[in-house]
Amino acid sequence: MLKIDNVTMKFGGVIAANKFNANIKKGQIVGLIGPNGAGKTTIFNVVTGVYKPTEGRVIFNAGDKEHIISGKRPDEIAKLGICRTFQNIRLFKDMSVLDNVFVANHLRIKSNVFSSILRTPGYRKEEKEMLEKSLYLLDRVGLLKERNEKANSLPYGKQRRLEIARALATDPKLLLLDEPAAGMNPQESSELMEFILNIKDEFDLTVFLIEHHMDVVMGICEEIFVLDHGELIAQGDPEAIQNNQRVIEAYLGVE
């Protein structure tokens, strides 16, 4: 589904990713781990069109045809079916929880601006569907009760789940999660793990996950890529990664 082909990303003298390669198959949950500054978020930024890679290509195929997405705009890439959450949460802070999800639906809207201004029956029908879908997604992430609260009044863990609901509202095929368990306690991160597995099945998703909580990564990823200083130092299943000497030295530690 996603092929990251020899991607290098340089910022001045900093090589944030060096000749990185990864293949992700449909239906997989794939992890991306490594110490702070290793280049993980940079890879997500390249895949989602925030950065154009210095070298290399990213190819996305959701089953219809191959699209070379490196060089495309973030909104074009989102339309093809790739959506993400951010390490530093990005919500419309002063808008309600419900409105945050509602506006995210607009990526798929068919009505044009005139029908929305004139509130044609077609637009009203679509608006009603978006509202129902938003309420369903909020229920799904456990935030229905909070729907009328302001987004920034929610505790951290709930804001992270709201971000996931917003991502799901765009009907993604590939979902990129950048540290969804950050700031969560063990109980919450174990619930999140369960939740990711459930939405993957329900929405037929492929998931690419950056996470420092190793219980989450090792618990749900089939395959894991390990970055260190922009270099891929290991790739394999959770067991292979946990026993990889280089990964232990660079990241996991002896314990």
Ligand X SMILES: Nc1ncnc2c1ncn2[C@@H]1O[C@H](COP(=O)(O)OP(=O)(O)OP(=O)(O)O)[C@@H](O)[C@H]1O
Binding residues for ligand X, per CB under 6 A?
11, 14, 16, 34, 36-42, 87
Query: Smaller CB distance to ligand X: residue 39 or 53?
Result: 39
For Mg ion (CB under 5 A), the number of binding residues is 3
Closest approach of Mg ion to the CB of residue 188, in Å: 20
Task: Between 86 and 203, name the residue whose CB sits nearer to ligand X.
Answer: 86
Pick 55 or 99: Cβ nearer ligand X: 55
The entry of ligand X, Mg ion, none near residue 38 (CB within 5 to 8 angstroms by kind) is: ligand X
Per-residue binding string, Mg ion, 65-104, x by CB under 5 A, is: ----------------------x-----------------
> What does 39 bind: Mg ion, ligand X, none (CB cut-off 5 to 8 Å by kind)?
ligand X
Reading the block at residue 196, the tokens are 């990711």
Binder of Mg ion out of 28, 41, 100, 159 (CB under 5 A): 41
Give the three-state DSSP class for 167.
helix
Q: By three-state DSSP, how is residue 173 classified?
A: coil
Q: Kind of pairing, strands 206-210 and 67-68?
A: unpaired
DSSP class per residue in 17-71:
EEEEEEEE-TT-EEEEE-STTSSHHHHHHHHTTSS--SEEEEEE-SSS--EE-TT
Compute the distance between CA of residue 234 and CA of residue 13 in angstroms, rounded to an integer. Answer: 24
